[in-house]
Amino acid sequence: MPFQLGSPALDAVPIRLWRRLITRRLKMSDTGLLSYPDPRGDLGLRQALAGYLGVSRGIACDADQIIVTAGYCDSLSLICRTLLRQGDESWFEEPGYFQARYMLEAAGVVLTPIDVDDGGINVDLGRSKAERAQMAVVTPTHQSPTGVSLTLPRRQALLEWANDNESWIVEDDYDSEYRYRGRPIPALKSLDRTGRVLYAGTFSKVLFPGLRLAYLVVPPSEVVRFGETLSRYGHGCPQLPQAALADFIRDGHFARHLKRMRALYAQRRGYLQRALQTALSDRLSVELQAGGMHLLARCVGEERDVELAERAKGAGLKVEALSTWFADDTDRAGLLLGFTNIASEEDAIRLVSELKRAFDD
């Protein structure tokens, strides 16, 4: 649906190339593709990922530390089974990614909402609310959903807290590849000298979500424990797409695809920003962050964002209300609008005028 969050540009998925890579693998008649997969993931893919993470995210790790999973929540589930006990406590960004919130709560983790401001999660507040928490789940590159980046002093403070308490930090780096201005920010994991950070990445944003492949980098000290969990509960991920994905990265297609998508998204983001500015500046004020795949537009008047999102939904437009991403009550009203599938300036103008009409009706 128009404005849907979190979906990559479906018209730009390199589907012909993908078909070729899959077919090439099938033609190899490798019986390894037919047997039960390694629950840690395809070794070739893990090696390719270790290379990519070193170059692109500043993360020094080897293939043994990487586990391929069926999505971010699968990575979280693995972390809970391996490192936490029922009733353990975790900091959770407020506002934050509700899918992860549901998953952690279902796993018996007690979540303490910690406010996010212009500098990302407020670490001092976290320490005062839940000093002894066993874990913190954060999105340091582009906070989900506000898009702000965690400042360097806060990154250091967060790592210091985790060291002091021997707590874990889960770094969800879901769309870090998409930054449109400034220098790329290295991952929080790249500053982790004592092995407190678990780094979670996904292919849902950089390729397509139907692939259902993601990954987790665990500290060297925890490789054996995670291996034990996997040997009991791990089913592994389908072998064929993993092997094709390894080829996609190793043959240089991934780097080229990311470069292309960065330019495309910068353009599409501009289309939407200009259309909103022209038609809806009396109602919405766009906060343009350095990266991400959606825009956050704050409500400038007294209107309730939930009400606006409902009206938009009635017109077939999938904008989301910022306030619904909070666990506690909030007066911070805004709308989240995905721009990745807006293909032209004309499309943006047409969709924003439909939105305006839905608000006015």
Ligand X SMILES: Cc1ncc(COP(=O)(O)O)c(C=O)c1O
Binding residues (CB under 6 A) for ligand X: these are 6, 71-73, 97, 139, 144, 172, 174, 202, 204, 209, 214
Length of the chain: 361
Q: Could you tell me the two tokens for 262? A: 């960065």
Task: Mention every residue, 6+ apart, whose C-beta is less than 8 A from residue 106.
Answer: none
Distance CA 121, CA 310 (A): 29
Residue with Cβ nearer ligand X (8 or 14): 8
Q: Could you tell me the two tokens for 36? A: 């039960």
CA distances from 5 to 2, 81, 203 (A): 9, 29, 15
Residue with Cβ nearer ligand X (143 or 311): 143
Pairing status of strand 66-69 against strand 214-217? antiparallel
Task: Mention every residue, 6+ apart, whose C-beta is less than 8 A from residue 357.
Answer: 315
Q: How far is the CB of 293 from ligand X (least distance, A)?
A: 9
Q: How far is the CB of 69 from ligand X (least distance, A)?
A: 8
Cβ atoms of 128 and 176 closer than 8 Å: no
Q: Could you tell me the two tokens for 349? A: 């103008």
> Residue with structure tokens 């407190």?
196
Residue with Cβ nearer ligand X (141 or 239): 141
What three-state secondary structure class fits 30?
A: coil
Residue with Cβ nearer ligand X (174 or 226): 174
CA distances from 219 to 62, 76, 155, 206 (A): 10, 15, 18, 24
Residue with Cβ nearer ligand X (61 or 214): 214
- Cβ burial of 55 (10 Å; 0-12, 13-18, 19+) is exposed
Task: Mention every residue, 6+ apart, whose C-beta is less than 8 A from residue 111.
Answer: 89, 90, 91, 92, 101, 104, 105, 327
Residue with Cβ nearer ligand X (192 or 320): 320
Nearest to 218 by CA among 73, 50, 102: 50
Q: How far is the CB of 349 from ligand X (least distance, A)?
A: 27
Q: How far is the CB of 73 from ligand X (least distance, A)?
A: 6
> What is the rounded end-to-end Cα distance, in angstroms, of the chain?
20
Residue with Cβ nearer ligand X (39 or 338): 338
Q: How far is the CB of 302 from ligand X (least distance, A)?
A: 29
Residue with Cβ nearer ligand X (90 or 139): 139
Q: How far is the CB of 214 from ligand X (least distance, A)?
A: 4
Q: Could you tell me the two tokens for 70? A: 């069926």
Q: How far is the CB of 77 from ligand X (least distance, A)?
A: 11
Q: How far is the CB of 88 from ligand X (least distance, A)?
A: 21
